[in-house]
Structure 1
Amino acid sequence: MPNSVNAKKALRQSQKRQARNRAQRSELRTYVKKVRLAAAGDDQEAADKAFRAAVKKLDQSAAKRLIHPNAAARTKSRLSKLLKKSKEAAK
């Protein structure tokens, strides 16, 4: 446990940041999951809408360094590939 006043404050700040980051990361994963589920379904329009929302959230997370920018790019690429594959299968 921290002993000094500064260390106690740093711990409080760290816990607050940890909670916020955990919630934002969970929300990001939910957006990605929605894209995967929509791509598995029949509605291509819903899948495109979910994809656009997920890409926006991924870019925002990468800009805030919540996740690494390369991880965001990799995820966007994989989701895009998945959507393209599901569109071809629907035809």
Structure 2
Amino acid sequence: MERGDSVALVGQNGVGKSTLLKTIIGQLDPASGEIQLGANVQIGYYDQEQTQLNTKKTVLNELWDDYPMMDEKDIRTILGNFLFSGG
């Protein structure tokens, strides 16, 4: 993958998509080989069960806590790209 690329993991349930992502972000150790990230790479990941989210926070505040230096407008743009809307 190169800078600016977008990637989608697509596959049937149970084939290892979540396991791969958890390995890339360091939640799981690789079964073999190694994971090497480029310089200045930041990965954001929220699991499908949303176990890391605080139910008392808005989606905006969840992202802002992870990226406190980002402008509100930029965070709202990202959320809009994922079809979140509202206050």
Note whether the superposition's TM-score is higher than 0.5.
no
Higher relative contact order (CA 8 A, sep 6+): 1
Q: Normalising TM by the smaller chain, what interval?
A: under 0.3
Give the greater-gyration-radius structure (CA). Answer: 1
TM-score scaled by structure 2?
A: 0.27
